[in-house]
C-alpha cells in the first residue's frame, strides 16, 4: 500500500498539481498518526517507516516541516544512510569469482570420474585438454571434490636436481612381484627411460637370477643404444655377473641408499601405477597371460594415458583434438576391457 501512495504522490508532483503539496502533507501526517495506532507503548520507526520518509524527502524536501515524531537532522541522517546502501547495492559485483564451467564439461568430468575411479584431477584435466577444452586444473579439482566427496591427491617427487640434469641419459630398473591364480610368484623386470617416462623393455620370469637379469639388459639395449647411467637398488639379484655385463656395455651404475626407494622415484611410480591401474583388478593365470596383460597396459600407458610430469601429455605424444563440428559428441574408447578409457570426438552419423 505504501508504494502505491508514493507512486501517486510522485505522479502528482511531476504533473505540478495545485494540491500536490497538500496531498503530500496529509500523507505524511497520516503516516505519523498510523504509528500511534500500533500496539506499542512507545512507537518507534521501523525500516518501512524510515524508507517512507527517505523517499518522501527525496520527492518533497519540505516534509521536514510536518515531521513531528523525529528531528529533521534524523531524517537527513536516514537519507544519507539510504544513499550509501543504494550505491553499495548498485556497485555490487555481478558475477563474483571465476566463471562457471559449462554443463558439457561438468558432464564429462562426472563421466570420467565414474568410469575411472582411480583417476584424479590431473588425469581428468589432461583428457579435457586433449579434447580441446580450456579449463583450469584447479577448477577441475574443486568440482571433482564436490561431486566425489574425496580430497584431491597431489604427487610429489624428490631428489630432482640430479635427475633433471640426466633425464635423457638415465634409465631405471626394478622388479615387480605378483602372483598367479595358483599363488605362484612371478617377477617382472621393468626398464624405464626417464626422458619421456617410457617403458623401454619388460620381461617376466618365475626364477630371476643375475644371469637372466644381465641378459635382459643386453636385449633391452642392443648395439649402441645403451644409456650412460643406470639407476637401481642394492638387491642381491644384481650379482657379479650382472655388474660385469653392465660395465662391459659402458653403463655407469648408480646405486640408491639402503631402504630408500624414494631415491628412484620414477620406476617406483611406474610400478605403483601398474599395480593400481592394472594388476590389482585382474587375476593372473600364468606367465604368458601376465605378458599379454602388461603388453596391453603398456600400449595404453604410452599412447593414451596422460602424465602429470609430461605436461598432461602421453609418452608417445598425443595430438590435441578440437571439436570438429557442433553435432560432434565425446565417445569413450575402452582400454583393458573397460578398466580405463580414452576420450575422442566423434561426428554423429
Residue 307 near residue 314 (C-beta atoms within 8 A): yes
Angle at alpha carbon of residue 277, lines to 276 and 279, rounded to 5°: 75
Residue 306 near residue 314 (C-beta atoms within 8 A): yes
Q: Does residue 291 share a domain with residue 179?
A: yes
Is residue 92 assigned to a domain?
no
Q: Does residue 283 share a domain with residue 186?
A: yes
Is residue 51 assigned to a domain?
yes
Kindly report, residue by residue over 221-278, the tens digit of the pLDDT: 988 889 999 999 999 999 999 999 999 999 999 999 998 999 999 999 999 999 999 9
| pLDDT of the residue at 1 | 47
Boundary residue ending a domain (86, 114, 137) = 86
Q: What H or E segment, with its residue span, contains residue 335? A: strand 328-335
Q: Does residue 235 share a domain with residue 273?
A: yes
Query: What total number of domains does the chain contain?
Result: 3
Q: Residue 322 and residue 324: Cα distance in Å, rounded? A: 6
pTM: 0.60
pLDDT tier, 313 (very low <50, low <70, confident <90, very high otherwise):
very high
Q: Residue 254 and residue 170: Cα distance in Å, rounded? A: 10
Is residue 91 assigned to a domain?
no
Which of 330, 303, 308 is closest to 319 using CA atoms? Answer: 303
Is residue 94 assigned to a domain?
no
Q: Does residue 324 share a domain with residue 284?
A: no
| pLDDT of the residue at 43 | 66
- C-alpha cell recorded at residue 48: 518501512
Q: Residue 265 and residue 273: Cα distance in Å, rounded? A: 12
| pLDDT of the residue at 157 | 42
Strands 198-205, 185-193: parallel, antiparallel or unpaired by DSSP?
A: antiparallel
Q: Does residue 69 share a domain with residue 27?
A: yes
What percent of the chain is modeled with pLDDT above 90? 49
Q: Does residue 80 share a domain with residue 148?
A: no
Is residue 172 assigned to a domain?
yes
Kindly report, residue by residue over 154-163, the tens digit of the pLDDT: 444 445 666 5
Q: Does residue 297 share a domain with residue 165?
A: yes
Lowest mean pLDDT segment, chosen from 29-33, 141-145, 149-153, 194-198: 149-153
Is residue 97 assigned to a domain?
no
Q: Does residue 268 share a domain with residue 173?
A: yes
CATH number for 172: 3.30.420.10
- C-alpha cell recorded at residue 340: 580405463
Is residue 178 assigned to a domain?
yes
Q: Residue 240: which domain range?
A: 160-310
Q: Does residue 247 share a domain with residue 142?
A: no
Say if residue 296's pLDDT is above 90.
Answer: yes
Identify the burial level of 188 via C-beta atoms within 10 angstroms of its C-beta, where 0-12 means exposed, 13-18 middle and 19 or more buried: buried
Q: Residue 156 and residue 151: Cα distance in Å, rounded? A: 16
Q: Does residue 327 share a domain with residue 297?
A: no
Say if residue 65's pLDDT is above 80.
Answer: no
For the chain, the C-alpha Rg in angstroms (whole number) is 37
Q: Does residue 270 share a domain with residue 239?
A: yes
| pLDDT of the residue at 15 | 47
Q: Which alpha helices (H) appear in 149-188, and where do they start and end?
A: 160-165
Section 199-214 average pLDDT = 96
3-state class (DSSP) for residue 141? helix
| pLDDT of the residue at 155 | 40
Q: Does residue 67 share a domain with residue 137?
A: no
Amino acid at each position: 500500500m505504501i508504494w502505491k501512495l508514493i507512486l501517486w504522490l510522485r505522479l502528482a508532483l511531476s504533473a505540478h498539481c495545485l494540491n500536490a503539496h497538500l496531498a503530500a502533507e496529509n500523507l505524511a501526517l497520516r503516516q505519523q498518526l498510523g504509528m500511534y495506532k500500533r500496539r506499542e507503548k512507545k512507537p518507534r520507526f521501523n525500516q518501512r517507516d524510515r524508507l517512507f520518509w527517505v523517499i518522501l524527502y527525496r520527492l518533497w524536501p519540505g516534509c521536514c516541516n510536518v515531521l513531528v515524531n523525529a528531528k529533521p537532522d534524523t531524517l537527513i541522517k536516514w537519507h544519507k544512510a539510504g544513499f550509501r546502501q543504494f550505491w553499495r547495492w548498485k556497485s555490487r559485483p555481478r558475477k563474483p569469482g571465476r566463471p562457471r564451467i559449462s554443463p558439457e564439461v561438468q558432464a564429462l568430468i562426472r563421466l570420467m570420474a565414474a568410469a575411472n575411479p582411480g583417476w584424479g584431477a590431473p588425469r581428468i584435466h589432461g583428457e579435457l585438454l586433449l579434447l580441446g577444452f580450456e579449463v583450469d586444473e584447479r577448477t577441475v579439482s574443486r568440482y571433482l571434490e564436490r561431486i566425489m566427496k574425496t580430497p584431491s591427491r597431489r604427487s610429489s617427487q624428490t631428489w630432482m636436481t640430479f635427475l633433471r640434469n640426466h633425464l635423457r641419459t638415465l634409465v631405471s630398473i626394478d622388479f615387480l612381484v605378483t602372483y598367479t591364480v595358483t599363488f605362484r610368484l612371478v617377477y617382472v623386470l621393468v626398464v624405464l627411460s626417464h626422458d619421456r617416462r617410457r617403458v623401454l623393455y619388460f620381461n617376466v620370469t618365475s626364477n630371476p637370477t643375475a644371469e637372466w637379469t644381465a641378459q635382459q639388459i643386453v636385449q633391452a639395449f642392443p648395439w649402441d643404444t645403451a644409456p650412460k647411467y643406470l639407476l637401481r637398488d642394492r638387491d642381491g639379484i644384481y650379482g657379479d655377473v650382472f655388474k660385469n655385463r653392465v660395465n662391459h656395455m659402458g653403463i655407469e651404475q648408480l646405486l640408491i641408499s639402503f631402504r630408500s626407494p624414494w631415491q628412484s622415484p620414477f620406476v617406483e611410480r611406474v610400478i605403483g601405477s601398474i599395480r593400481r591401474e592394472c594388476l590389482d583388478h585382474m587375476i593372473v593365470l600364468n606367465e604368458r597371460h601376465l605378458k599379454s596383460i602388461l603388453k596391453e597396459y603398456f600400449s595404453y600407458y604410452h599412447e593414451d594415458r596422460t602424465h602429470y610430469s609430461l605436461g598432461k601429455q602421453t609418452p608417445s605424444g598425443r595430438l590435441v583434438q578440437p571439436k570438429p563440428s557442433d553435432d560432434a559428441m565425446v565417445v569413450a574408447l575402452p582400454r583393458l576391457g573397460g578398466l580405463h578409457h580414452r576420450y575422442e570426438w566423434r561426428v554423429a552419423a
